[in-house]
């Protein structure tokens, strides 16, 4: 069953890698622009030396993947390794084609494609490597959006492009591309956003047991209906928007008739599990 369960995510990692590869080969690399993360570092080295950007991208990711193995877990790093390997592969097989001579269009749509690919990888349990992994590690210990972290980590890379190639137009267009990549990631990958669920159910013990396995803390509140005077339990739990789909599915499985009110949480003070 475990092998079957991993096939779907691996397939999605391959699709994500193909999308990233298209963004590189069709839009960013032909215009000598940068992507986010270690791929941007690989691009700078490749532009200056003529070395293969795909294999540079892979080589630079190896030490970061090893670091992530000890912090983020085997499954995450395995899926990230699949994405990195497939991205390097697609950079070999997808021809470098200049779809547009307009650097603005290349930076915008290149950033969007790379953002969609990176988001797909993050959403289904992996990453596209590089600064995604570094930002994921930081976000586990600091309540910060991954996308903005990636933009901050990339500022140095973009500045390096401007200084080394003396092409500040390329550097600024690259920054626009990286910014769009980060915004797309934050729009979809939202583990830093909290929600509070109020669940009124007759299946209190089973519901609480499943919530504690996520694991999330649960508070049980006794309630009484104003119209029927029927007493029922209400479970209150704070989780993340990233886990909301899993929460909905779990509630329907246990009690399809449960009444659920989900509200946006501005902040959480106290012990809240971020890992």
Q: Contact at 8 Å (CB) between 80 and 126? A: yes
pLDDT at 56: 93
Query: The domain 194-265 is classified under which CATH number: 3.30.70.120, 3.20.20.70, 3.40.190.10, 3.40.718.10?
Result: 3.30.70.120
86 — pLDDT class (breaks 50, 70, 90): very high
pLDDT at 1: 44
Give the number of other Cβ atoms within 10 Å of residue 141's Cβ: 10
pLDDT per residue as tens digits for the range 227-275: 777 888 888 888 776 567 677 888 888 888 888 888 877 666 655 555 5
Give residue limits of the domains in the chain.
2-188, 194-265
Report which of residues 26 and 224 the model is more confident about: 26
């Amino acid at each position: 069953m475990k092998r079957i369960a991993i096939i779907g995510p691996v397939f999605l990692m391959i699709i994500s890698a193909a999308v990233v590869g298209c963004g590189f080969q069709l839009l960013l690399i032909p215009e000598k622009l940068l992507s986010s993360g270690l791929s941007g570092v690989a691009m700078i080295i490749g532009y200056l030396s003529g070395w293969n950007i795909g294999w540079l991208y892979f080589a630079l990711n190896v030490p970061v993947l090893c670091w992530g193995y000890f912090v983020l877990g085997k499954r995450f790093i395995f899926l990230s390794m699949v994405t990195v390997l497939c991205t390097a592969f697609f950079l070999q097989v997808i021809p470098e084609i200049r779809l547009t001579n307009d650097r603005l269009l290349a930076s915008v749509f290149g950033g969007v494609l790379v953002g969609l690919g990176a988001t797909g990888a993050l959403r289904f349990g992996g990453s596209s490597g590089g600064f995604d992994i570094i930002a994921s590690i930081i976000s586990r210990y600091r309540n910060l959006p991954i996308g903005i972290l990636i933009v901050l980590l990339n500022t140095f890379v973009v500045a390096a492009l401007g200084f080394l190639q003396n092409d500040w137009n390329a550097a600024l267009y690259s920054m626009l591309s990286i910014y769009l990549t980060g915004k797309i990631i934050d729009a979809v990958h939202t583990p830093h956003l909290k929600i509070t669920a109020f669940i009124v159910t007759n299946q209190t013990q089973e519901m609480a047991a499943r919530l504690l396995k996520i694991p999330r803390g649960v508070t049980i509140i006794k309630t009484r209906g104003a119209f029927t005077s029927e007493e029922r339990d209400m479970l209150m739990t704070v989780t993340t928007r990233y886990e909301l789909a899993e929460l909905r599915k779990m509630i329907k499985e246990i009690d399809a008739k449960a009444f659920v009110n989900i509200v946006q949480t501005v902040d959480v003070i106290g012990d809240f599990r971020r890992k």
